[in-house]
Structure 1
Amino acid sequence: ETPTLLLQPENLCCPVCQEVFSDPVVLSCSHSFCKDCLKNWWRQKPTQECPVCRRRSSKTDPPLNRALKNLCESFLQHKDQGSSEILCSLHSEKLRLFCLDHEQPVCLVCRDSEKHTNHRFRPIDEAAQQYKELLQETLEPLKEKLEVFEVGDLAFDQTKVSGNPMWHQVSLDFLLI
């Protein structure tokens, strides 16, 4: 991957919180997470397993992923300096606009090309903010459904555990008949 691709946010996001990694740690399965996200995840689970592949972790304090931490710091520093320097793959120009018709970022050369004749454009930061808000609106009901599912899953596990002695007793009573 080129440095530009490495510094894209989707390559630097924690699978748990979906934000740019903060103090990333790496598990033996090679998946990385924010240190706090992983600790919180493990607090809610009976075993220390990877949130992505469910492989058990032998380490209670996984090591810092220094390379990823450096990439995230570079990305955040770069982001703080203004719009990101992601370049057009066709023209090596900064992606400054978002084509509403093709729903993709474009450079000024792309905008003036025949491919985008009579298309509508927005500044890329404005379009990014609109899409971010739309994603947040879509994400909220999904988070609520996930929470309901997790509560139901926990209740099911508790019912299963509490029902085991009763099941054994009924089985024993049945055998005695």
Structure 2
Amino acid sequence: MIFMVIKSMLLLIALFEDCTCKRQWEYEPISIVAQTSDRSKLNLEAEVVRVKRGEYAFTGVLYWNYDADETTLVECNAYRSNTGEEADYRRLPLNIPKQTFKQYLDAFYTTTVFLNTRNCSGLPHPDNVWPWAKQTYRFENCGAAADGMPDLMPEGYYKILFLVTGEVVWNLTTIVKVKTKIDLFG
């Protein structure tokens, strides 16, 4: 009898261990395009690179040479498409509403951007992020772990448009293909 109880408890523990919330999707970067109104104050060059068979990442250089202040505003919008065709993209509720650069750094940068790029970039730690330093930031093979993102995402193509306005107007448009993660062994 005691053996059956222990066996049942072990089975329940194994089942609950497997039921933890984990990201149920993976993505493949398709493209990344940056634009700026003044390359002498901000220049961003980025590309999708192949790391190994079936694995891609983002690599790039961000040259930042201006003071971000209360007039520097940030917003980000996400779009989804079944086909990847431009006319098929529909806006999603996943977004960052227009806010000052400092508000963005205090919230979204800390919980998402830094978590996903801390091992592949020279971006500052959230404790030392304001004022934003004028310098060149490098990104090497950044394959985001999707920290701070939903656990479930429908398959399809996602376009993320990151827009910054102020002394310099610049944007970054990223397209990724999301597919359901197939992991037979947990």
TM-score > 0.5, shorter chain as reference = no
After TM superposition, the score normalised by the length of structure 1 is 0.21
After TM superposition, the score normalised by the length of structure 2 is 0.21
More helix by share: 1
